[in-house]
Structure 1
Amino acid sequence: MLIMNRIYQFFRHNHVLAICEDAIDNKSFTLNLSRFEMPDVPDLVAKCPILLKLFLNNNYLTKLPPIIANLSRLQVLTLDYNRLDSFPVVICQLTNLHSLNLSCNEIDKLPPEIGHLTQLQVFWCNNTGLLEIPEEIGNCHRLETFGARGNKLKCLPNSMGLLTNLRWLTFESNELTDVPATLGALSKLVHLNFKNNLLTTVPACLSHMHKLQYVFLNKNRIETMPAEEDLFSTRFVRMLNLSENPICNSAEARQQLREHMHVHCEEYLDVGEQQRLATREQSEDDDEDDGDMNSDWENSIATSDLDTTDESGPENDFEDISMLIPELSRYITNFT
């Protein structure tokens, strides 16, 4: 068995090297090294300086080598489902990154240098044991999607309000007791998920987010009835989910909340009732028109489904080349 395992590792390692060499020879923009059980990043990766996309998810990586900083053009980096025990600070030198996924590692802190990633648009750090987010996150002003579900966050920095391009924000299943009032500046936000936290009141800042469509505050500790004018001021929201909060245990409170058509409120349910409700909701979802352009905004994608890995091919190469057109045009202008 030991010999067979070594043979397997030998062939796997050489297969990875062959993929890297092929990317070098073909001057590829994409390198997919996901799901190879790699303990380390091959040195050959440093010889692919024109890479735009690097997929390293679902491996056994415990760190990133300094050579990663050589990939100065990199725009997409996936490191989810590895064995990282801290945030690889070398990532913060990749200042052209557009998309970063660090989910399902052991990363309890983000470094202040995260603020160097000013081009970042998508950032996932679900299920990492994250304890805090630095104020410097506010420098990532191009962020449109930010997900930090299943962590241990107790508070959020006020600088979150500077991320005015955010459209999707989820902090589901953390330990948040309050929401910064500065979040009211997130005027483009469509999806806001604070499900399963420790909030005791409905955040007042919701009324300022006029693009909001879906707000999840279910499974918190909200027991105070919001003022009628506060609920009325969120009428532009398609769904405000307050289900399974203490406030919903009162039949009178539920009746008051249901007078606002956009508010969902159900009392705490036992496991059997939760399963029946989930089955019913799934059936209703299946009956909905597949052409509903807003349906994706309602549903939070499971971390395991956040697979942005793609394969290198002519279609992807054409897309990747198009990303370089602004830079190439500078040289064309100088030549003419």
Structure 2
Amino acid sequence: MNRVFEFFRNHHILAVVEDALENLSFTLNLSRFQLTEIPDLVHACESIMKLFLNHNQLTQLPDYLDSFHRLQILTLDYNHLQQFPTVICNITTLRELNLSCNQIDELPPEIGRLRELETFWCNNTGLTKIPDEISKCKRLETFGARGNQIETLPLNFGLLNRLKWLTLENNQLKSLPQSLIGLKRLVHLNLKSNQITEMPEFLSSLKKLQFVFLNFNRISEVNEEILDKTQFIKMINLNDNPVKDSIDITKHSHIVVDRPAAQMSASNNSDIDANDDDENINDSDLSDWENSIETSDIDTTDESSEENDIEDISILIPELSRYITNFN
């Protein structure tokens, strides 16, 4: 049965690649095929702009990938990569890159060549450090490195002034560089489950910020003046921190913090002042961020579906079924 399965899988893969070649497709989806290597025929797909290779068993990438001069989206999450494939740094047209759920503990300095990169996911890879050169990726709007071993951020991280979504949940961060005051477009900041001991003062300067997750850290004191200056933020989650009970949550309704039921009830009945600061994002800008709590685990998708896979296989079976009798 395994040989039959491999037969259909291999022919399905070739059919997908050949179809992309014949139609000069912009998208090539080879996700979830249990690939251990990329078929040589892919080399001829020079027109593709999106290449989905996630959920396979790849351990390396072919050198010819840097000849794809139109490639903008590359997904490699859930593979068996043991290090960052340096060939990626030569694909300077990339806008979206996902390397999550591999074994990549280091990003090379050459990452700075990806000047067009807008979205970068490297969650759960064992990453220990982010290189200074990441600051050269000036177009980055979304950066996710959850579930790693990062202890510090580059001092120049704040130069990524287009960032809107930053999630560094479940790392080893103890403090943050003051340069983050430069992230003037940041809307969503997830620092949950780190070792941060103080509420960052720069939060009050990021006027577009709407959602901040600082829960499960080691914050024991919070400056009331900082809280007053962050009223424009919709929610700052301080749950599961050793914060003193001195925070008046009836005054600071945007703070989420563990409280006895009676205090929580009083907080829910308090009035919330609207902040109409012109620098805050407007309603249309909020549409992508209002569900940030629920979507904080987002990586990316491969635009594939089981229905499409089933449909493709159903087309192939009549043509290939005559070969089945060749197996013992």
What TM-score, normalized to structure 2?
0.82
- Of the three residues 233, 237, 249, the one matched with 2:233 is 237
**How far did residue 296 of structure 1 move?**
2.6
| RMSD between aligned residues | 1.8
- What residue is the counterpart of 2:324 in the other structure? none
Q: CA–CA distance in 2 between the matches of 1:148 and 1:205? A: 21
How far residue 32 of structure 1 moved from its aligned partner, in angstroms, is 0.4
* 1:153 to 1:300, Cα distance in 2 relative to 1, 3 A: farther
**Equivalent residue in structure 2 for 1:262, among 254, 263, 270:** 254
The answer (yes or no) to whether the contact 1:43–1:67 under 8 Å persists in 2 is: no
CA distance in 1, matches of 2:259, 2:126: 29
Mapping of residues 1-336 of structure 1, within 5 Å:
4-224=1-221, 226-247=222-243, 250=244, 252-254=245-247, 256-266=248-258, 293=287, 294-303=289-298, 306-310=300-304
Unaligned runs of at least 5 residues, structure 2: 261-285, 309-328
Q: Choose between structure 1 and 2: higher helix proportion.
A: 1
Secondary structure at the counterpart of residue 156 of structure 2:
helix
How far off is 1:310 after superposition? 4.6
Unmatched tracts of structure 1, length 5 or more:
269-291, 314-336
Given that 1:239 and 1:263 are in contact with CA atoms closer than 8 Å, whether structure 2 keeps it comes out as yes
Using the alignment, how far apart are the partners of 1:5 and 1:152 within structure 2?
A: 39
Cα distance in 1 between the residues matched to 2:160 and 2:41: 36
Match for 1:260: what amino acid? H
CA offsets per residue over residues 230-262 of structure 1, 9 Å max, x none? 111111111111111011xx4x324x3442111
Query: 1:296 aligns to what SS in structure 2?
Result: coil
Q: Normalized against structure 1, the TM-score is what?
A: 0.80
The alpha carbon displacement at 1:6 in A equals 2.6
Contact kept in structure 1, 2:54 and 2:302, CA below 8 Å: no
Distance in 2 (alpha carbons) for counterparts of 1:266 and 1:92: 45
Give the Cα–Cα distance (whole angstroms) in 2 for the partners of residues 131 and 295 of structure 1. 31
The whole-number CA distance in structure 1 between the counterparts of 2:40 and 2:193 is 43
Residue aligning to 2:281: none
Q: Using the alignment, how far apart are the partners of 1:308 and 1:31 within structure 2?
A: 10
CA 1:300 to 1:198, structure 2 compared with 1: closer, same or farther past 3 Å?
Answer: farther
- Aligned residue identity for 1:70: S
Tell me if the contact between 1:191 and 1:298 (Cα under 8 Å) persists in the aligned partners: no
Q: Deviations over 1:133-188 (max 9, x none)?
A: 00000000000010111111011101210110000000001110011110011000
Aligned-partner Cα distance in 1 for 2:292–2:239:
19
- Distance in 1 (alpha carbons) for counterparts of 2:178 and 2:249: 23
Q: Which amino acid aligns with 1:7?
A: V
Q: What's the CA shift string for 1:9-29, capped at 9, x where partnerless?
A: 232122111211111111111
